[in-house]
Amino acid sequence: MKRRLLSLVLGAAVAASAFGTMGTAALADENEIYMFISQPEYADAINELIEAYKEVAPDVTINYETTQNDYPTLLKAKLNSGEVPDIFSSTSGKEIDVYKEWSYDLTGQPLTETMLPSVAAAMKSPEDGSGVYGLAIKGNYFGIVYNKAIFEECGITEFPKTTEELKAACEKISEAGYKPFTTGFSEWWVFKHVWQHFLAAAAGDAGVEVSDLVASFEKGEAKVADYPALYNNFFDFIDLAVQYGDDKPLETALENELAAFGSGEAAMVLGQGAWIEADSLAIDPNLQIGFNGYPVSDKADQCKIISGSDQALHVYNESEALQATLDFVNWWYTSDYGINWFTDVAGVVPPVQTEGESSFEIIKQGSELEASEGSAALGICYSTDSWHQVFGELIQSYITGSADKDATCAAIEEQWAAIDGAE
């Protein structure tokens, strides 16, 4: 899977000029589905899904467009203009309610019979616990992806579980001539994947649920400085990643991370997960991939992976192609091909009940770690992507030195209350 640029046209059924002129008239065909989603890392896999569906429904055309940067802004522009995609994406959890008025309630659809209960729970309205307003491309595991061979060469026999152990590991890796981290810090969404590990530690230290901690920030009641795991440990981690990471961290995107990790230049990848395994192995089929949580404190037991379904795909409830869209997503979640697609093609944690086993190391190791050590809360689902995008931009400003830690924390608090607290 290769990274796609903004507004790149994807899908075997799509004409080359489809998206440059896509408008409400083009959406009027009851057999033409417009799919506009984030997660370009799954572009090749979704193209294969579309190709397979053409064998089932040859009269249906699926126009597929994907981007990552500025997706929330672009989606809201489409919604406001009336150019609502038949399928669009958002974060699960809080954003289910943000997009509820445009989303079809999938309750009673065949796909809900195969959807995992944990996934269905993430697709319900947090406000009243009703409905099933989305489906997922994947479940997920979040943590640090690392090169086992580099760790072994550097004499690191166990993955570092504490912040001090991580610093020592970075020194050894650097002394051996490798880059300890590749970060992807040009992408705003990378920061939310990292932040949630420290958020879970902060909530644990305070004896509260992550959802309650987030709510207190939204209400303007909490301060970052009150939580050492956030004020000290998170920012120390960002500093460490910059010190031992890419030469130009704010110019490093997903494709750069893949190149650095797959080639054996970098020992650890930040902000990514199972979705990078196939591309990494395409660079080096013999790459020895490891996976673990983020060392977030001096407590080894807080180094945990995070699991859950963080993204939702919505079906537009007033779509001219509603029946065709429902037929497609039901086939995706209930057919043999669709169910096997999650593990065999996309290489993701299946959001459906299946007996199939993944061949991906990140998924296998994530499953084993979750079973043996448990997992931390999926904190990203408690905030909107509008908030996460601003948060990522604030941390990027911190990295450039245009804002110090205290100014950045003040802005985080202000924006959290302004963006999510206002909803």
Over the stretch 302-346, which tens digit does the pLDDT of each residue have? Answer: 999 998 888 999 999 999 999 999 999 999 999 999 999 998 888
Q: What is the pLDDT of residue 385?
A: 86
Half-sphere exposure of 253 (CA within 13 A, CB side): 10
Closest CA to 201 of 297, 305, 293: 297
Residue 8 above 50 pLDDT? no
Q: Which long-range contacts (CB under 8 A, 24 or more apart) does 122-125 make?
A: 122/92, 122/93, 122/96, 122/308, 122/309, 122/310, 122/312, 122/378, 122/381, 123/92, 123/96, 123/309, 123/312, 124/96, 125/96, 125/97, 125/100
Q: What percent of the chain has pLDDT over 70?
A: 93
As a whole number of angstroms, the distance between CA 30 and CA 15 comes to 18
Bin 177: left if φ > 0, else alpha if -120 < ψ < 50, else beta.
Answer: left
Q: Identify which of 103, 148, 101, 138 has the alpha carbon closest to the alpha carbon of residue 269.
A: 148
| Alpha-carbon gap, residue 64 to 49, rounded angstroms | 11
Helix (H) or strand (E) holding 59: none
Say if residue 48's pLDDT is above 90. yes
Radius of gyration (Cα) for the chain, nearest Å?
Answer: 21
7 or 246, higher pLDDT:
246
Distances, alpha carbon 334 to alpha carbons 167, 301, 383, in Å: 47, 38, 30
- Measure the CA–CA gap between 333 and 282, rounded to whole angstroms: 28
Q: pLDDT category, 423, cuts 50, 70, 90?
A: low
Tens of pLDDT, residues 254-277: 999 999 999 999 999 999 988 899
Mean pLDDT for the chain overall: 90
CA of 62: how far to CAs of 22, 25, 103, 128, in Å? 13, 15, 19, 33
Query: Largest Cα–Cα distance in the chain?
Result: 62
224/408 Cα distance (integer angstroms): 10
Give CA–CA dist 312/336, Å, rounded. 22
Give the whole-angstrom CA distance, residue 240 versus residue 170.
Answer: 9
User: Of 21, 343, 6, 416, which is closest to residue 192 (Cα–Cα)?
Assistant: 416
Question: Given a cut of 90, is residue 196 above it in pLDDT?
Answer: yes
Residues in the chain: 423
Per-residue pLDDT band for 23 (boundaries 50, 70, 90) equals very low
- pLDDT reading at 75 higher than 80: yes
